[in-house]
Amino acid sequence: MNKKLKLFLPMPDGSGNREIEHNGSVVIVGANGSGKSRLGAWIEKNPPEGVIVHRVSAQRALDLPEFAIVKSLEQSANDLLWGNEDPRFANIQHKWGHRWGNRPETHMQNDYGKVLSTLFARNADRDRRHTAETREKQQYVPVPDGPIEKLVDLWSEILPHRALKLEDGKVSVRHVALGQEYHGKEMSDGERVALYLMGQCLCAPPDSILIIDEPEIHLHSSIMQSLWNKLEEAQPDCLFVYITHDLNFASTRISTTSIWIREFDGGNRWSWEVVPEIDEFPESLLLELLGNRRTIVFVEGEKGGKDHSIYQSIYRNHHVVPRNGCQKVIESSRALRLNAAFHHINVFGLIDRDYRTDDEIKGLAESGVHCINVAEIENILLSEEILRLVAKNQLIDPDDVVKRATEMAKKLLENDVMRQVSQRTYRIVEDKLRQINTKIEGLDAIKKSIADSVASINVDVIFEENLVLYTNLVANGNLNEILKYYNNKGLVSSISSIFELGKNGYEKLVLRMLNSDEREDVLAGMKQYVPQI
């Protein structure tokens, strides 16, 4: 990858230009309307001294000609790069009017024929030079690969089910399995755009900046990453600059510099920032977060799952991001908060209470990670407030429902006390062991630190306190107190049997109520058990 080519972007405050550090490729990402294409045009219009910038527009026609027009290499290259065959107009001053029709951001490029003409002209120039060298030396000289050979080889790696041939100014394709050959005009949109992009990149001059606007258009995800990896390898002296709103594509660029375009003022100023490298995040997620203007709440669970639905309903003005387990939530929240200098967003984490102690919960809150006030998110569906709303919806006596649910929860907990006590004891001991001073050095010092920490943990006392807690809940606890400390994934299905709604019927009913006229009442009941963010 070329590290020598310089790339500049205009400073957001209009104070000048800033050089962007890179390892050979840059991805510019932003939402539709954020001025990405206009920024690409700015880069093309303000190239580093002595560097050619070749921009491939997102507005591109994919009509293949029957035959490529035979031209000299100078004519074809000038026409492709500058929009005019005449070398007098092969410069940036005339490029805007000739190549872009004075509409550099929106002009439809209809240059497929120019790409093909340049490919054939380059191969013809290679053949001419090879013939001259062979005659001069009067002996066989190996033939170097031209852009057409490179393109065909690349095609066979990316699309092995179709054999590509470029001969006598014509493009043809053969179906490998069926043996049928047809003109390139009959290729699919994906195949035509792949050929077009390969040709554009392989025709770019050495040591040039290649700007590809919307490189993912019409390309299947299965070939997109491999195609651009191979093209970057084929043009190692070029700087690839991709412009896209597709975060999945952006995340496929390895060791790239990512630029997030936040806003465009409609004139000549862009608000942008370099996406930092944060180990805990896939780049696609990081780009999504940086492009978001709302407070971010990391939660447990998966996207589209029950947890996500509940939290998104409660925090409807925030951006709720599922991160699977609680440890990922904690790591994600801490990582973004530690890198607050790189972004503009507020970040919080939200996790189940599980068997955590008040001290542990307080410590997590100091780093922006909060615990809900029930053992696990499913328990929020069984709170007395929600049960009464569901009972009313089902025309059942709310008092009777709460009474039966409380009795059922106590009965289940009574048979499960020893497991709950043991798990909570393990949890407390584990938390205390994590507090060992890991900065101590030397074998003896480490042994003493561990021994002192273990000696300070009175397992008997911890176990007895937990036994008292759960025994009291069974004897005297109300339903909401039990839900705060009782971890049991089967609790919802057991208690929901009161309503005779079938498997998962109760959960689905509550979630439906979140989209009904009873939404605000349900949310009010749930919000009592989650923190205000």
pLDDT at 470: 95
Q: Which of 21, 96, 3, 7 is nearest to 49 (CA)?
A: 7
Q: Over the stretch 84-110, which tens digit does the pLDDT of each residue have?
A: 999 999 988 899 899 999 998 889 999
pLDDT at 507: 86
Amino acid at 448: K
Residue 492 contacts residue 507 (beta carbons within 8 Å): yes
pLDDT at 500: 84
pLDDT at 1: 46
Highest mean pLDDT among 20-29, 215-224, 417-426, 492-501: 417-426
pLDDT at 464: 95
Residue 326 has pLDDT above 80, yes or no: yes
pTM for the predicted model, two decimal places: 0.67
pLDDT at 342: 53
- Beta carbons within 8 Å of 503's beta carbon, 6+ residues apart: 493
Q: Over the stretch 226-254, which tens digit does the pLDDT of each residue have?
A: 899 999 999 999 999 999 988 778 877 87
pLDDT at 218: 81
Q: Over the stretch 38-47, which tens digit does the pLDDT of each residue have?
A: 999 999 999 9
H or E element in which residue 8 lies? strand 8-10
Alpha-carbon 149 to chain mean position: 35
Identify the weakest region by mean pLDDT among 187-196, 199-208, 256-265, 353-362.
Answer: 256-265
Residue 3 has pLDDT above 60, yes or no: no
Average pLDDT over residues 433-455: 87
Average pLDDT over residues 398-421: 95
Rounded CA-CA distance 473/207 in Å is 74
Q: Provide the 3-class DSSP secondary structure of residue 386.
A: helix
Residue 45 contacts residue 35 (beta carbons within 8 Å): no
Q: Over the stretch 190-207, which tens digit does the pLDDT of each residue have?
A: 899 999 999 999 999 999
The pLDDT mean for the chain works out to 89
Q: Over the stretch 374-406, which tens digit does the pLDDT of each residue have?
A: 999 999 999 999 999 999 999 999 999 999 999
Computed over its alpha carbons, how large is the radius of gyration of the chain?
Answer: 32
Rounded CA-CA distance 479/483 in Å is 6
**Inter-CA distances, 499 with 495, 502, 529, Å:** 8, 8, 23
Rounded CA-CA distance 94/81 in Å is 11
Rounded CA-CA distance 200/178 in Å is 30
pLDDT at 79: 95
pLDDT at 404: 94
CA dihedral 183, 185, 191, 193 (to 10 degrees): 140
Residue 156 structure tokens = 């066979």
Residue 454 has pLDDT above 80, yes or no: yes
pLDDT at 346: 82
**Inter-CA distances, 42 with 8, 35, 81, Å:** 10, 10, 16
Q: Provide the 3-class DSSP secondary structure of residue 118.
A: helix
Amino acid at 291: G
- Beta carbons within 8 Å of 504's beta carbon, 6+ residues apart: 493
Residue 376 structure tokens = 């696990």
**Inter-CA distances, 17 with 48, 270, 448, Å:** 11, 12, 57
Helix/strand/coil percent split, the chain, to 5: 50, 15, 35
pLDDT at 282: 61
| CA dihedral over 421, 423, 429, 432, signed as positive or negative | negative
Share of residues in the chain with pLDDT > 70 (%): 95
Of residues 277 and 464, which shows the higher confidence score? Answer: 464
Amino acid at 444: D
pLDDT at 403: 95
255 sits in the region (left: phi over 0; alpha: psi -120 to 50; else beta) called: left
Share of residues in the chain with pLDDT > 90 (%): 53
Identify the weakest region by mean pLDDT among 146-155, 275-284, 397-406, 434-443.
Answer: 275-284
- Beta carbons within 8 Å of 43's beta carbon, 6+ residues apart: 7, 8, 9, 53, 55, 209, 211, 241
| CA dihedral over 431, 437, 441, 445, signed as positive or negative | negative
Q: Over the stretch 154-202, which tens digit does the pLDDT of each residue have?
A: 999 999 999 999 999 999 999 998 889 999 999 998 899 999 999 999 9
pLDDT at 260: 85
pLDDT at 343: 56
3-state secondary structure 314-327: HCCCCEEEECECHH
pLDDT at 415: 94
Q: Over the stretch 210-229, which tens digit does the pLDDT of each residue have?
A: 999 999 888 877 788 889 99
Residue by residue, DSSP assigns 351-406 as E--TT--HHHHHHHHHTTEEE-SSSSGGGGGGSHHHHHHHHHHTT--HHHHHHHHH
Q: What is the DSSP letter of 142?
A: P
Rounded CA-CA distance 166/151 in Å is 10
Residue 118 structure tokens = 């340049």
Amino acid at 100: W
pLDDT at 288: 66
Residue 82 contacts residue 94 (beta carbons within 8 Å): yes
Identify the weakest region by mean pLDDT among 308-317, 409-418, 468-477.
Answer: 308-317
Q: Over the stretch 479-532, which tens digit does the pLDDT of each residue have?
A: 999 999 999 988 988 888 888 887 778 888 988 888 888 889 999 999 999 988
Of residues 2 and 132, which shows the higher confidence score? Answer: 132
Amino acid at 489: K
Residue 341 has pLDDT above 60, yes or no: no
Q: Which of 34, 28, 37 is nearest to 107 (CA)?
A: 37
Highest mean pLDDT among 28-32, 128-132, 319-323: 128-132
pLDDT at 373: 93
